[in-house]
Amino acid sequence: MQKRLVPLIAAAAVLLSVSGAGAMPLGTSTKQHAQASGSVTIAVGTDPGSLDPQLTILASARFVDSFAYDSLVNLTGPGKIASGLAQSWKVVSPKRVEFTLHQGITCSDGSKMTASVVKKNLEFVGNPANKSPLLGVFMPLGATVTADDKARTVVVTTTRPNPFMIQGLASVQLVCSAGLSDRSKLSRGAVGSGPYTLTSVVPGDHYTFQVRKGYKWGPGGATTSPSGLPAKVTIKVVSNESTAANLLLTGGVNLATFAGPDRKRLDKAKGLFRKVMAGQPGELFFNENPGHPAASATVRRALVQALNTKQIGTVVTGGLGVPVTQLSLQSFTPCAGDSVTGNLPAFNPGAARSALNGVTVKLLYPTDGGSTWIPAAELAQQQLSAAGAKVTLDGQSTAALQGKLFGTGDWDVVLIAIGVANPSQITGFLSGPASPKGTNFGNVDNAVYKAAVSRAQRRVGTQGCKYWLDAERALFKAADLAPMAVFTNASYGKGVSFALGVQGPVPTSLRLT
């Protein structure tokens, strides 16, 4: 279970999930030429490791893979979906969706991407024996897939309602036949239908792509023929944000994304293309398993009352965050609305003192998510201590932190950031079997939440949004978790402009300036 959740529970802004607000259109430019030219270098903060798009969910890997692979459809903004390999799609019911593919889709090796190949992809991800981390997050559990090559149709059916099935499948990157037959080709290579071909891999340093001619099934019908699209893209691993900022300013890289204080000096620089976007919401979760303080609803409420979550949110985001309005990524959620305001126990350390006096609390937090997490944890410790609790700080790497959440259970309060594209994707963390048997790491058992989720799941897409937001309100009222602030990222381009999608800068939107 731990492996599945590595990408979703991330420190600071590991995901390049960003806002499409104000972004450039994802389709083709009206100005065309016969062949792309020029090159750009893009910085990523961590090495992607394995590039197999169906056996990783690490944000940097998914971004790198977005140059080589396509998905059936694309998320482009709050509640917005654009075409991908599928030229059209239909939600028949909460248990059935249908896709019709574009004609003439080809892969980087010259083979065809047919409905049958798509079917094999989804069946691989859907088979628990393959241990794909996409299963249960993007690919529905227990789904059945049928395909008709002549009609170019793919149908996905589930036994249980899945109201946001289209949005989930939009995040499944699809592999071509040669890669499905021999997945060893995918770890350090790529066999996809995407706009670029992977030509060079130097792990830990860089990944180089060359544009494909004739590509015309990108997001919203994007092609590789517009003037200004770079012919060559190099993705360079730069782990330090200050180093990436220096390289950007001196021309060593053309595009990079930042979450930390280097944004202040970049904002003052002239000639940079800039987009700021909302990312993951940061949250405090509580361990409600027997033997832990938060198993008591009274203590749990007091913990929230003792914490000035707005102040902690300001610290953890370096003053660059925005208020949390719901648990889904505000940049891509299909549900508009605010489930937070007025539903959280108000900051009142005096009222919390009687319940927390002498209570021992172990506060877990990530140490590898940026410099702001340590002072945020220390501030939370001070506030809880002021209300009478005895607090021990436990800083861990993200990997070790997950080992405690989904394995040992040796924690009481945890500061983390979880990013999901729609409210149904977070239900496994907030209901069902507790860890290590399930993914409900806090052992949340909120009857009002579960009842509202049940109502929401019987409705297609946005028709259930009222109930999804009601479900989240129930969590906040019961102090099952407390929001801090939404992390924001800023992407800067030097000599290049771009649009942003759920993986980060969209490959077909890159334009040399």
CATH number of the structural domain spanning residue 419: 3.10.105.10
**Whether residue 287 sits in one domain with residue 230:** no
| CB environment 15-37: b (16+ within 10 A), e (fewer) | bbbbbbeebbebbbbeeeeeebe
User: pTM of the full predicted structure?
Assistant: 0.82
352 phi and psi angles, rounded to 5 deg: -80, -20
**Whether residue 358 sits in one domain with residue 381:** yes
**Whether residue 412 sits in one domain with residue 438:** yes
**Whether residue 505 sits in one domain with residue 414:** no
Residue 405 per-residue DSSP state: I
The predicted structure's pLDDT at residue 226:
94
The predicted structure's pLDDT at residue 502:
84
Taking alpha carbons only, the member of 172, 195, 213 closest to residue 54 is 172
| CB environment 411-435: b (16+ within 10 A), e (fewer) | bbbbbbbbbbbbbbbbbbbbbeebb
The predicted structure's pLDDT at residue 368:
82
Q: How far apart are the first and last CA of the chain?
A: 45
- From first to last of its 513 residues, the chain has per-residue pLDDT tens of 333 333 343 332 233 222 222 333 344 343 444 567 899 999 999 899 999 999 998 889 999 999 999 999 999 888 899 999 999 999 999 899 999 999 999 999 999 999 999 999 999 999 999 999 899 889 999 999 999 999 999 999 999 888 999 999 999 999 999 999 999 999 999 999 999 999 999 999 999 999 999 999 999 999 999 999 999 999 999 999 999 999 999 999 999 999 888 999 999 999 999 998 888 899 999 999 999 999 999 999 999 999 999 999 999 999 999 999 999 998 889 999 999 999 999 999 999 999 999 999 999 999 987 789 999 999 999 999 999 999 999 999 988 998 999 999 999 999 999 888 899 989 989 999 998 888 899 999 999 999 999 999 989 889 999 999 999 999 999 999 999 999 999 999 999 999 998 888 999 999 999
User: 167 burial class (0-12, 13-18, 19+ CB within 10 angstroms)?
Assistant: buried
**Whether residue 154 sits in one domain with residue 53:** yes
Report the alpha-carbon distance of residue 472 to residue 449 in Å, rounded.
Answer: 7
Domain around 302: 280-487
The predicted structure's pLDDT at residue 402:
86
Residue 299 per-residue DSSP state: H
Taking alpha carbons only, the member of 309, 241, 303, 285 closest to residue 486 is 309
Taking alpha carbons only, the member of 305, 294, 326 closest to residue 420 is 326
**Whether residue 339 sits in one domain with residue 215:** no
Question: How many domains does the chain contain in total?
Answer: 2
Looking up residue 193, the CATH number of its domain turns out to be 3.40.190.10
**Whether residue 464 sits in one domain with residue 386:** yes
**Whether residue 262 sits in one domain with residue 370:** no
**Whether residue 258 sits in one domain with residue 383:** no
Taking alpha carbons only, the member of 7, 6, 11, 17 closest to residue 489 is 17
Which amino acid is located at 187 in the chain?
S
The predicted structure's pLDDT at residue 17:
27
The predicted structure's pLDDT at residue 261:
87
Neighbour count for residue 259 (Cβ, 10 Å)? 25
The predicted structure's pLDDT at residue 331:
86
DSSP state letters, 358-399: T-EEEEEEESSS-TTHHHHHHHHHHHHHHTT-EEEEEEE-HH
Q: Which two tokens stand for residue 126?
A: 């859907």
CA angle (180, 211, 230) in 5-degree steps: 145
**Whether residue 392 sits in one domain with residue 446:** yes
**Whether residue 498 sits in one domain with residue 401:** no
**Whether residue 397 sits in one domain with residue 307:** yes
> How far lies 82's CA from each of 25, 79, 434, 440, in Å?
11, 10, 36, 32
The predicted structure's pLDDT at residue 62:
94
